[in-house]
């Protein structure tokens, strides 16, 4: 099915949203860093075929969504959850499935745990539950080393200059360097992400997600309410930034949990292995119905 881009006014922002399908069953897809709504290009048509109205917005600070606040406080998780709630309200949907990858998955975990809006289903890709992540960071020097970039992003100004230098070469390398199968990261795809990152104010907005999280470390540890929403976790096992051991302990935070692991697939799971991811999504969502 065709993907169309529309503008959605919500929570004081003008969100750029890619849409496929129609109806009052919403599948809201939240992207990660350093991506955009474009990262869901393989999933939106599938979700539409399954009977959903599928939305993939450029999240606050990213892509074509405006404005792009430059202060760190605007990227606290409370503000980000307000965006998700406002998008759901703007959709008018009677039923919501929330799908997230990377930072979008972290936001989805938090939104579901706090029960900001009722969710029918939750799908998480390659990000651990925040409480599990906090526990592993405390006891795992290896994961601390893998997460070195989070400390680098706290430096004022330097990360922005580094990530956008030389035509946003670092953005391009983030995908090509981590991907196992690089075939879906063609030059035009990398150009799209590089151009989005170089939009005025975008890089600061994108990195401010990390800065805001670092300013509230206690929230990562919890306590976390148990998630009652049926939850699917899809995990590429060849993730260079987040070890597969970060799945351990997730069941303590989720009542109804399904985990699907994909060997030899990197962090960019839904883009690198869309056929496998879509098959898992299709089967799980159909079974849940």
Residue 221 pLDDT > 70, yes or no?
Answer: no
279 three-state secondary structure: helix
Between CA 289 and CA 271 the distance in angstroms is: 25
Between CA 22 and CA 153 the distance in angstroms is: 39
Distances (CA, A) of 162 to 166, 168, 169: 9, 8, 9
> What is the distance, to the nearest Å, from the Cα of residue 82 to the centroid of all Cα atoms in its chain?
16
With pLDDT > 90 as the criterion, what percentage of the chain qualifies? 88
Tokens of 256: 């109804």
Q: What is the pLDDT of residues 229-256, one digit of tens each?
A: 999 999 999 999 999 999 999 999 999 9
pLDDT at residue 135 in the model: 87
Q: Which of 140, 88, 79, 86 is nearest to 110 (CA)?
A: 79
Segment 126-150 shows an average pLDDT of: 83
12 pLDDT band, cuts 50/70/90, is very high
Residue 141 pLDDT > 80, yes or no?
Answer: no
Sheet holding 13-20, edge to edge: 4-10, 13-20, 53-57, 25-30, 95-101, 121-125, 231-236, 257-262
Contact at 8 Å (CB) between 26 and 48? no
CATH of the domain at 211: 3.40.50.1820
DSSP characters for 104-124? HHHHHHHHHHHTSS--SEEEE
pLDDT at residue 60 in the model: 98
Between CA 233 and CA 222 the distance in angstroms is: 20
5 three-state secondary structure: strand
Polymer length of the chain: 289
Q: Which helix (H) or strand (E) holds 207?
A: helix 202-214
Residue 217 pLDDT > 70, yes or no?
Answer: no
Catalytic residue positions, numbered: 102, 210, 267
DSSP characters for 8-50? EEETTEEEEEEEE--SSEEEEEE--TT--GGGGTTTHHHHHHT
Residue 150 pLDDT > 90, yes or no?
Answer: no
219 pLDDT band, cuts 50/70/90, is low
pTM for this predicted structure: 0.96
Lowest-confidence range among 45-54, 103-112, 127-136? 127-136
Between CA 274 and CA 289 the distance in angstroms is: 22
Residue 220 pLDDT > 90, yes or no?
Answer: no
Per the prediction, the chain carries an average pLDDT of 95
Q: What is the pLDDT of residues 40-83, one digit of tens each?
A: 999 999 999 999 999 999 999 999 999 999 999 999 999 999 99
Number of domains in the chain: 1
Residue 171 pLDDT > 90, yes or no?
Answer: yes
pLDDT at residue 149 in the model: 82
Between CA 36 and CA 44 the distance in angstroms is: 14
pLDDT at residue 218 in the model: 59
Structural domain range at position 114: 4-288
């Amino acid at each position: 099915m065709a993907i169309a881009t529309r503008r959605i006014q919500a929570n004081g922002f003008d969100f750029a949203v890619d849409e496929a399908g129609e109806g009052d069953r919403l599948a809201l897809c939240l992207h990660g860093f350093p991506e955009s709504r474009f990262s869901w290009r393989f999933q939106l048509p599938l979700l539409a075929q399954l009977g959903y109205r599928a939305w993939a917005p450029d999240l606050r600070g990213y892509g074509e969504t405006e404005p792009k606040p430059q202060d760190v406080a605007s990227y606290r998780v409370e503000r980000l959850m307000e965006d998700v709630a406002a998008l759901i309200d703007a959709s008018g949907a009677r039923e919501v499935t929330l799908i997230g990858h990377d930072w979008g998955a972290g936001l989805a975990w938090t939104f579901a745990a706090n029960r900001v809006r009722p969710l029918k289903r939750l799908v998480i890709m390659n990000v651990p539950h925040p409480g599990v992540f906090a526990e592993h960071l405390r006891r795992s020097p290896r994961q601390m080393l893998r997460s070195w970039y989070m400390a680098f992003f706290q430096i004022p100004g330097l990360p922005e200059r580094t990530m956008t230098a030389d035509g946003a070469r670092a953005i391009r390398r983030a995908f090509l360097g981590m991907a196992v199968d690089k075939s879906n990261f063609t030059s035009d795809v990398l150009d799209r992400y590089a151009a989005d990152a170089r939009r005025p104010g975008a890089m600061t907005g994108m990195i401010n997600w990390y800065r805001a999280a670092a300013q509230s470390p206690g929230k990562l540890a919890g306590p976390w309410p148990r998630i009652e929403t049926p939850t699917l976790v899809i995990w590429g096992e060849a993730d260079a930034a987040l070890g597969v051991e970060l799945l351990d302990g997730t069941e303590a935070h989720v009542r109804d949990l399904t985990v699907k692991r994909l060997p030899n697939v990197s962090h960019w799971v839904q883009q690198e292995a869309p056929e496998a991811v879509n098959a898992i999504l299709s089967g799980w969502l159909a079974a849940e119905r």
